[in-house]
Amino acid sequence: MRYFIILLALTTVSCDWAKQKTKQSVNKTGEVVGKAGSEFVNGVAKGVEKTFDSQIEISSDLKAHGLKTGKVLISSSDSATDNILTPYFIFDGNIDQPVTIKVISEDGLEYGRVTQQLTGKKGEAHYVDFVFEKRTNIDGRSKITVE
């Protein structure tokens, strides 16, 4: 009977020990997976950001008026994917005129165009949203022209 009680006590202690070790192992594994997942997500985000590094061409007329671009963002509207182009415009001269932005595929085919009034004074810089129709999904390898 004494051996049975000792065996029962050892089994209970070892089960608790095994549970604790299993719990620690699962927690450690979860931590490693969480870190790896976080690194993966950060890597994907950086990859997406680089992918959207499209070629931007500003017409010689707008360049002569002092228009330059900085970073260009691509985002989605409520009903479409990647149909909003938001360039950061830098104004080295006064501009108040309509501009047309075209999106051209890698194959040289135009697949999006929008025209709107662009206004900026010398020394200003700001983002401007250009919302394309919902079927225009701006590809990161597209060429974008500002005319």
Alpha-carbon gap, residue 139 to 112, rounded angstroms: 11
Alpha-carbon torsion, ordered 67, 74, 136, 97, to 10 deg? -20
The b/e string for 108-142 (b: 16+ C-beta within 10 A; e otherwise) is: eeebbbbeeebebeeeeeeebebebeeebbbbeeb
Does the pTM surpass 0.85? The reply is no
Beta 95-104 vs 84-91: how paired, if at all?
unpaired
Q: What is the mean pLDDT of residues 61-72?
A: 96
pLDDT at 44: 45
**Confidence band for 13, pLDDT divided at 50, 70 and 90:** low
How many C-beta atoms lie closer than 10 Å to residue 145's C-beta? 16
Alpha-carbon gap, residue 18 to 45, rounded angstroms: 40
Q: What is the mean pLDDT of residues 55-75?
A: 94
pLDDT at 141: 82
**Confidence band for 51, pLDDT divided at 50, 70 and 90:** very low
Q: Which tokens hold the place of 6?
A: 């000792």
DSSP character at residue 6: H
97 membership: H or E segment, kind and range: strand 95-104
pLDDT in tens, 106-117: 999 999 999 999
Domain 54-146 has CATH 1.25.40: no
Alpha-carbon gap, residue 23 to 32, rounded angstroms: 14
- Per mean pLDDT, which range of 33-42, 63-72, 135-144 is the poorest? 33-42
Locate the domains of the chain by residue range.
Answer: 1-51, 54-146
Backbone angles phi, psi at 140, to 5 degrees: -65, -20
pLDDT at 29: 59
**Confidence band for 30, pLDDT divided at 50, 70 and 90:** low
